[in-house]
A and B are shown apart, each in its own frame.
Chain A
Amino acid sequence: MNTASKLSLAVVTLLAIGASSAQAQSATISATATVLTPLTLTGAAPLAFGSVYPGVAKTIAPGDATSGRFTFAGAAAAQVSFNFPSNPVNLTGAGTLPIGTYTGLHNTTNTTTGATAFTPGVTAVLANLSGTGALFLFIGATVSPTPTQTAGAYTGTITLNAVYTGS
């Protein structure tokens, strides 16, 4: 074997030795997340028409004392989407008492001053919670008793759905 062949063999051998073993190494990272406060809805006050006369429509405005109220509690400044999936709701009792179009206001404080108008219904409305995670809805409507409306108490359920949008 000449010198060149010996040297070449040495190179190959050295490479083979160096590459012959295997080893394992590990490293760890974390998956992390911070979950915001879940969204909480509360029916704070009923939409109360009080006494109505047969044949005389009666309107409760969102800013009236007996308007319906909902409150939201959740993550600060988070955007929510809400709607009223079953509106319009007619009242029932000793018959049916029809309600016309609903009206609404929403605000980040518990007042109608400076509130934003919206139309309660199946169409989703977007709004942002306040810096403390609050939102207030004020609901009004017009009830239209017929001239022959049967006397008695009438009630209906107004359902509000809401979710975070993630924005």
Chain B
Amino acid sequence: MHRARLTLLVGLGVALAATPGAARAQTVVGVQNLAFGTVIPGVPVTIAPTDAVRAGQYRITGLFLATVTVTFTLPTAMNRVGGGASIPLTFLNTSGQWDPAVGATTTFNPNSPYTAFVWLGTTLVSLGGRASPAPSQLGGSYTSNIIMTVIIN
């Protein structure tokens, strides 16, 4: 029985070593755009990270017992497709939401790096923001990219 326990322990150790945070097949993907929808000139629009439909979303998978740090490359404006105008874009200190498979959902400031420990499973990162079109904002479609980088320690 003693040998069996040791064998089990070794087996568990090998299994864990084969799948720690840095060695597993982690994936970080953008799954949903931060969509302000139809915007009225002169009327600011704020989207909360809890908005399941309009908030931007990223999914981190494949982590196991890993400390991760997420940083965002946040645009200061959305640019009009075809040029000629932009809409100021800001992110509040509560615009980020960290929703792990294990543990509590927390709000964070996406303007600064955010570090958290991931036990296992899929983590959903949501991002809200605020668009402030001018009263004379030129009509049309506006867009910009938001990059999230995840450093897995």
Contacts and interface: CB of A to CB of B under 8 A. Distances in A.
Interface of A: 3-4, 7-8, 10-12, 14-15, 17-39, 75, 78, 163-166
Contacts of A8: 9
B10 interface: yes
B6 A7 contact: yes
Contact of A29 (B17, B58, B133, B149): B58
B30 A29 contact: yes
B121 interface: no
A21 B153 CA distance: 7
A32 B55 CA distance: 11
Contact of B75 (A27, A31, A33): A31
A14 B43 contact: no
Interface in B105-124: none
Given A11-B13, A18-B22, A23-B152, A28 B41 contact: no
B38 to A, nearest CB: 5
B22 A20 contact: yes
Interface residues of B, number: 67
B13 A28 contact: no
Contact of B143 (A20, A32, A165): A32
B97 interface: no
A31 B144 contact: yes
A11 B12 contact: yes
Contacts of A17: 17
A45 to B, nearest CB: 25
Contact of B21 (A19, A26, A32, A165): A19
B92 interface: no
A23 B146 CA distance: 20
Interface string B125-148: 001010101011111111111111
A27 B33 contact: no
Contact of B41 (A10, A29, A32, A39): A39
A12 B38 CA distance: 56
Nearest to A4: B6
B13 A14 contact: yes
A13 B102 CA distance: 26
B56 interface: yes
Nearest to B14: A14
A25 B27 contact: yes
B142 A10 contact: no
Interface in B65-89: 65-66, 75, 78, 80, 87, 89
B42 A28 contact: no
Interface string B17-37: 111111100111111111111
Contacts of A7: 6, 9-10
